[in-house]
Structure 1
Amino acid sequence: MAAIDYYLSPISPWAYLAGERLENIAQKHGATVTYRPLDIMALFDRTGGTRPESRHPARLAYRAQELPRWAEHLGMPLRMDVTLTNPAPASYAIIAAQAAGGDTGALVRGLLAARFADGRDIAEDGVIREVLAASGFDPGLADSGLFVGAETYGRNLERAVEAGVFGVPFYHVLDSDQRFWGQDRLDFLDRHLGTL
């Protein structure tokens, strides 16, 4: 059974556009997924990336066209008017939920949809609690998982850098040490898992 480390940030529209394709691919191939939310801005700093506010206008203009293009292609609503928010509280909730057991993928998708389909601030405690409950988790995980979440969040960043991760969404197949960056590489991940 293949094991996949999924590096993500709940403030990434590209992670949102991945939808449930990763989970469907993993189920098809009997693979396990470990969700590893991390500080994407710190990852950029550590791996030679550029934070969005420092990117060249041409890159920002292309991104402003490409995101809606992908959303339309995938049939997913996408709000382009969201502003940057603190990803840590939602990330801590993902970490706590995964430790508790349950459908972590549903929680990840719920938080991403709250942000990019509904335009809600996923740094707000009330939003996180609502999405936890809607995904079948105890809303109290928003509080109880803070300390462990903060520790794991930092370790996920270190693990990502060691694994060669430089952006999100990023899928690392541990068994074969194959890496796939971006929701547009999920077909390649699917094909690779079929060879294992």
Structure 2
Amino acid sequence: MSSQSPAIDYYFSTISPFTYLAGQRLEAVAAKHGATVTYKPLDIMALFGRTGGTPPKDRHPARQAYRLVEMARQAARLDMPINMKPAHWPTNAAPASYAIIAAQRAGGGDLGALVHATLRAVWAEDKDIAEDTVVRALLDGAGFDPALADSGLLTGAEIYAQNLEDAVKVGAFGAPFYVTADGATFWGQDRLVDLDWHLAGQGTPAA
């Protein structure tokens, strides 16, 4: 391993159920290894289109059904509440994503908590994260200036678009997706254990 602190690029969608089910385990892994995390929210539907994926509503019924099984099963195992049919899904993921980007640039709060609270708002609290009042409350709750919901719009839009391009370039095709500084990639919240092993210098455990 390098003597430099490890770094993780975290590609995710603010409306992804499996990103929600990651909880704050990424932050725990990063803290364990002294790793920095760059949060890179993106348009997951656009990523699907760019990388051969299919939006959930367009998948074969068998795939749609099993997706719900996996969501319920993992939520139960993790003891996390989840609404299988949230009132505001899908919704416009951009406003909350812009706010997260602005918060990352501004600093001063708990970014991991903000990201998880945003996902929890969708999948456990039936809130619409496209609404300005919701975004402001999420920022405030994580220790950030609620005004970032407005001030970060232009820069947020540019970085949000760039995150999509970056994701395609590094081979990301879903969310959550983790990329380390040495180019190792990990898809899915159920691969956080592999990320942990990699950062520990042990490689990826055999299946």
Q: TM-score, normalised by structure 1?
A: 0.98
Matched, 1:106 2:106: no
Unmatched 5+ residue regions in structure 1?
Answer: none
| Structure 1 counterpart of 2:159 | 152
| Structure 2 counterpart of 1:131 | 138
Matched, 1:5 2:12: no
Q: Indicate which of 56, 60, 67 corresponds to 1:63.
A: 67
Q: Give a deviation string over 1:136-185, Cα, whole Å, max 9, x none.
A: 000000000000000000000000000000000000001x2100000000
Structure 1 CA distance for aligned equivalents of residues 40 and 68 of structure 2: 27
Query: Does the residue aligned with 2:90 lie in a helix, a strand or coil?
Result: coil
Deviation at 1:81, TM superposition (A): 1.5
Query: Does the residue aligned with 1:172 lie in a helix, a strand or coil?
Result: strand
> Equivalent residues in 2 for 1:153-172 (5 A)?
153-172=160-179
Structure 1 CA distance for aligned equivalents of residues 83 and 132 of structure 2: 21
Deviation at 1:187, TM superposition (A): 0.3
Query: Does the residue aligned with 2:8 lie in a helix, a strand or coil?
Result: strand
> Equivalent residues in 2 for 1:1-196 (5 A)?
1-82=5-86, 83-101=89-107, 102-174=109-181, 176-195=182-201
Q: TM-score, normalised by structure 2?
A: 0.93
Structure 1 CA distance for aligned equivalents of residues 63 and 73 of structure 2: 15
Aligned-pair identity (%): 63
Structure 2 CA distance for aligned equivalents of residues 162 and 147 of structure 1: 23
Q: Which letter does structure 1 place at the counterpart of 2:200?
A: G
Q: Give a deviation string over 1:101-160, Cα, whole Å, max 9, x none.
A: 132111101101111110111111111001100000000000000000000000000000
Structure 1 CA distance for aligned equivalents of residues 118 and 183 of structure 2: 29
RMSD: 0.8
* Regions of 4+ moved over 3 Å: none
Query: Does the residue aligned with 2:118 lie in a helix, a strand or coil?
Result: helix
Report the more deviating stretch, 100-109 or 160-169. Answer: 100-109
Structure 2 CA distance for aligned equivalents of residues 17 and 75 of structure 1: 10
Structure 2 CA distance for aligned equivalents of residues 84 and 112 of structure 1: 12
Structure 1 CA distance for aligned equivalents of residues 120 and 178 of structure 2: 20
Q: Give a deviation string over 1:40-86, Cα, whole Å, max 9, x none.
A: 00000000000112100000000111101000000100011112101
Q: Which letter does structure 2 place at the counterpart of 1:136?
A: G
Structure 1 CA distance for aligned equivalents of residues 100 and 52 of structure 2: 26
